[in-house]
C-alpha cells in the first residue's frame, strides 16, 4: 500500500464530505450551516489542492482544475458570509444564506467530480 496515495485519497474524500456536511440542510436556514464547517471545508480543500500539484498526467490536471474550482467556490462563499456579517452588517438573512450554500454546492459538484475521477483512476490502475 502506498501511503502517499492513501493520504491523497483521504484528503480528496474528506474535502467532499466536509463540503457535503456544510451544504446539507435547508437552503435558507442559517442554523443548518455552521461557519466552522465552512472553515474546515476550506482548509481541507486547500490541503487537497496542494497535494494535487506536481501531477503531470491529464487526469492530474483535471484533478487540480476541479480542486481550484472547489477552492474558488468555497472562498467566494466565505467572502459572502464575511461581507454580510462584518462589512454590510445585514447578517445571515435567508437570501444571504441561500447564496452562501449555493456557492458551496457548486464547490461540492467539483469535489464530487474529483472523487469520481479518483475512483476511475483507481479502477483503471494496473499492477
- Give the Å distances, CA to CA, from 30 to 61, 81, 86, 91, 98: 35, 11, 16, 10, 9
Question: Which pTM value belongs to this model?
Answer: 0.91
Number of domains in the chain: 1
Q: Tell me what pLDDT residue 54 has.
A: 76
Whether 16 and 111 have beta carbons less than 8 Å apart is answered as yes
Q: Tell me what pLDDT residue 124 has.
A: 85
- In sequence order, which residues have a C-beta less than 8 Å from that of residue 33 and are 6 or more positions away? 22, 23, 25, 97, 100, 101, 104
Q: Tell me what pLDDT residue 127 has.
A: 61
The mean pLDDT value for 115-124 works out to 89
* Number of helices (H), then strands (E), in the chain: 4, 0
How does pLDDT run across 77-117, given as a tens digit for each residue? 999 999 999 999 898 999 999 999 999 999 999 999 999 99
Instruction: State the cell numbers at 34.
Output: 455552521
- For residue 105, the enclosing domain spans 3-124
The mean pLDDT value for 20-37 works out to 92
pLDDT-based confidence at residue 18 (cuts at 50, 70, 90): very high
How does pLDDT run across 53-78, given as a tens digit for each residue? 877 788 888 999 999 999 999 999 99
d(CA 37, CA 40) in angstroms, rounded, equals 5
53 Rama sector, left if φ>0, alpha if ψ -120 to 50, beta otherwise? beta
Amino acid at each position: 500500500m502506498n501511503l502517499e496515495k492513501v493520504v491523497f485519497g483521504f484528503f480528496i474524500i474528506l474535502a467532499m464530505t466536509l463540503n457535503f456536511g456544510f451544504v446539507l440542510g435547508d437552503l435558507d436556514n442559517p442554523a443548518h450551516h455552521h461557519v466552522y464547517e465552512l472553515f474546515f471545508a476550506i482548509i481541507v480543500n486547500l490541503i487537497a489542492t496542494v497535494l494535487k500539484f506536481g501531477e503531470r498526467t491529464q487526469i492530474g490536471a483535471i484533478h487540480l482544475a476541479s480542486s481550484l474550482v472547489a477552492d474558488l467556490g468555497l472562498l467566494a462563499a466565505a467572502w459572502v458570509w464575511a461581507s454580510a456579517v462584518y462589512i454590510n452588517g445585514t447578517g445571515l438573512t435567508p437570501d444571504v444564506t441561500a447564496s452562501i450554500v449555493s456557492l458551496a454546492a457548486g464547490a461540492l459538484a467539483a469535489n464530487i467530480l474529483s472523487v469520481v475521477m479518483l475512483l476511475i483512476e483507481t479502477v483503471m490502475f494496473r499492477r
